[in-house]
Amino acid sequence: MKLEVFNIQGEKTGRSVELPEEVFGIEPNEQAVYLAVKQYLANQRQGTHSSKERNAVAGSRRKLKRQKGTGTARAGDIKNPLFRGGGRVFGPRPRKYTLDLPKKVKRLARKSALSDKANKNQLRIIEDFSFDAPKTKAYYEILQKLELSNQKVLHVTSEKEESVYLSSRNLPKAQVMRASDLNTYAVLNCQVLLLSEGAVEKIVETFK
């Protein structure tokens, strides 16, 4: 599969990039994609949620009233979950949500996501560029010239481009990421995958 390379003016450069079938042309494996997305979202959770159950609530353990003869329900101490200020029943406790996934499954999921974008013509190639200083307006103009300003775009660079990243940070529909940080969820969560020429080389080198 060959794709035209665009410059920052939104014009074709006359060059093209060959995308290998073993990375961008495989049959997407839905199960692998599901597991990779599940792992990514689970690993984002801090797991610090907590609440006080009746053993952790401050209060006396004295029985509030006698067991029988009051005409109302029997009651224990003030920390009873049925009372205002009492402990919570089966409340959340701190825990880890992290999941492990075999490397081969994660690689298959990423290749499946990249192939899906290629099949749906949601893949664009742009020449490598950088800014002398961060400027949101300059980055937004590039997206406008590429006719991508109204779409959710994931721009993948070969190396860490701090000025490009800072320029895109204030745009709600734009995200910049290094090729080495690319994950399945990020690929699926965008409408258009914008790859720099250097990023394509990095991705192909990783998977081949």
Q: What is the residue-wise DSSP string for 13-62?
A: EEEEEEPPHHHHSSPP-HHHHHHHHHHHHHHT---------TTTS-S--S
In this structure, are strands 123-126 and 192-196 parallel, antiparallel, or unpaired? Answer: parallel
Rg (CA), the chain: 27
Q: 77-111, pLDDT tens digit by residue?
A: 999 999 999 999 999 999 999 999 999 999 999 99
Q: pLDDT band for 189, please (50, 70, 90 cuts).
A: very high
Cα separation, 204 vs 208, in Å, equals 6
Q: Check whether 208 has a pLDDT greater than 80.
A: no
pLDDT digit string (tens) for 123-156? 999 999 999 999 999 999 999 999 998 999 999 9
Instruction: Find all residues with CB under 8 Å of 41, minimum gap 6, and list them.
Output: 185
Domain coordinates of the chain in residue numbers? Answer: 2-45+98-207, 51-96
Contact 64, 76 (CB under 8 A): yes
Per the listing, tokens 């192939």 go with 115
Mean pLDDT throughout 62-88?
A: 93
Q: Which residue has the tokens 């450069």?
A: 13
Q: Which fold has domain 2-45+98-207?
A: Ribosomal Protein L4; Chain: A; (3.40.1370)
